[in-house]
Structure 1
Amino acid sequence: LYNYLHENNVYAQVHYAPLHLMPYYQQWGNRKGDLPVVEEYYEHCLSLPMYPTLTDEEQEFVIEKVIEYIKQ
């Protein structure tokens, strides 16, 4: 979905990486697998465009592209 949206000029992002996987926190022994629910969420979440000046037409375009991807 991420790649499809980008190919269609919808710039979704991946945000909110698990804190325990950041290099700073790994120095205390935190490793991948320590928080499997958080990690699973991170691997499957996207932040869709959302900002105050996003027009109704732009919102509809984003919705249309997500629906197109799902119907593939």
Structure 2
Amino acid sequence: MEGCSQNEDKELAHFVNISFGSQAETKYLLHPASSMKHQDESISADIERPVRSFWPKTLEFLSASKQGRTA
């Protein structure tokens, strides 16, 4: 049983790491899309709002997981 939890924590940390990368990519792509008028700024704002609210939580989790405090 002990190894099972440890493996789940590693998988969760891996998933959150991928999520963090996806958030970064979304933030990166929204700005030029709006600047070049490929996307309406209000749509970009609607997409960016949840990314901004989730970003600090993801960073906090990643930091905790690197210090072994994911449980």
**Interval containing the TM-score (normalised by the shorter chain):** 0.3 to 0.5
